[in-house]
């Protein structure tokens, strides 16, 4: 029995040591529409309440596809891109007055390391500057003729912080910074990849839930402990 306790102790220690830093992040956000244009009007109006839930994973191995080389195309710059299965990942956005809900068919995390954004492109929610930020998005678009979103809708919750946050733009950051500015944007695209509707939401409430995700090695270690315990009995 003493040997069994020692073995279990060693196994659990191994489990704790090999636990992955990967987490599943759920973000609940609510706010009011700041501005609305194009196909979103008149169904959505300035001041309408919006609720949103976005879920993503910091484990790059959960991605169904990825691009870690990034892009320098004007208007489409990013450091890395990870597409995630939806469900369980992606976004749900609810227009409170009507009860209308957008639910994503595909999900992604876009990592932006030391890139410029802000100003009129984000309805002046943040100033033009160089930032680190991630975009957690849900989409029901298709790939257009140039590989960009087309023929559908896309909602993105972006988390902006200073350039000290992301140290490796090819990876999804394991944590969120202490200080950040959330920005929620909805866009609608036609078949030719043109943006035909835009809505910006001022976020006034946000909560974040983080669930640690055990690595496969820790699960294996705990499984071994359970098998040994069963055999000893």
Note the pLDDT tens digit of each residue in 121-151: 999 999 999 999 999 999 999 999 998 999 9
Percent of residues, the chain, with pLDDT higher than 70: 83
Backbone angles phi, psi at 178, to 5 degrees: -65, -35
Instruction: Please give the Cα distance from 47 to 38 (Å, whole number).
Output: 17
Question: What average pLDDT score do residues 210-217 get?
Answer: 71
Q: What is the mean pLDDT of the chain?
A: 86
Contacts of 135 (CB under 8 A, 6+ apart): 108, 109, 110, 112, 156, 157, 158
Note the pLDDT tens digit of each residue in 93-115: 999 999 999 999 999 999 999 99
Q: What is the pLDDT of residue 230?
A: 43
Q: Pick the residue with more confidence: 132 or 224? A: 132
Question: What average pLDDT score do residues 201-227 get?
Answer: 69
Q: Is the pLDDT of residue 10 over 80?
A: no
Q: Pick the residue with more confidence: 231 or 119? A: 119
Peptide bond into 42 cis (omega under 30): yes
Q: What is the pLDDT of residue 214?
A: 67
Peptide bond into 88 cis (omega under 30): yes
pTM here is: 0.82
3-state secondary structure of 31: strand
Q: Is the pLDDT of residue 6 over 90?
A: no
Confidence of residue 221 (pLDDT cuts 50, 70, 90): very low
Residue entry with tokens 């559908």:
152
Q: What DSSP designation does 216 have?
A: H
Question: What average pLDDT score do residues 68-85 get?
Answer: 94
Q: Give the least confident one: 45-49, 191-195, 221-225.
A: 221-225
Q: What is the pLDDT of residue 16?
A: 38
């Amino acid at each position: 029995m003493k040997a069994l306790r020692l073995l279990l102790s060693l196994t659990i220690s191994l489990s704790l040591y090999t636990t992955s830093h990967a987490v599943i992040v759920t973000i609940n956000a609510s706010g009011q529409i700041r501005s609305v244009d194009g196909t979103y009007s008149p169904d959505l109006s300035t001041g309408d309440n919006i609720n949103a839930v976005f879920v993503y994973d910091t484990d790059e191995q959960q991605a169904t596809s990825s691009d870690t080389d990034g892009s320098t195309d004007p208007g489409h710059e990013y450091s890395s891109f990870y597409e995630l299965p939806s469900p369980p990942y992606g976004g749900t956005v609810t227009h409170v007055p009507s009860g209308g809900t957008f639910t994503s068919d595909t999900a992604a995390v876009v990592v932006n390391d030391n890139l410029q954004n802000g100003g009129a492109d984000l309805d002046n929610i943040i100033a033009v500057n160089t930032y680190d930020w991630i975009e957690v998005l849900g989409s029901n678009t298709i790939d257009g003729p140039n590989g960009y979103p087309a023929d559908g809708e896309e909602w993105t919750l972006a988390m902006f912080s200073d350039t000290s946050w992301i140290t490796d733009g090819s990876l999804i950051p394991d944590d969120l910074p202490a200080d950040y500015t959330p920005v929620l944007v909805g866009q609608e695209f036609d078949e030719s990849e043109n943006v035909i509707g835009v809505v910006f939401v001022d976020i006034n409430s946000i909560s974040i839930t983080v669930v640690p995700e055990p690595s496969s090695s820790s699960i294996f270690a705990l499984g071994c402990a359970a098998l040994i315990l069963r055999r000893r009995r």
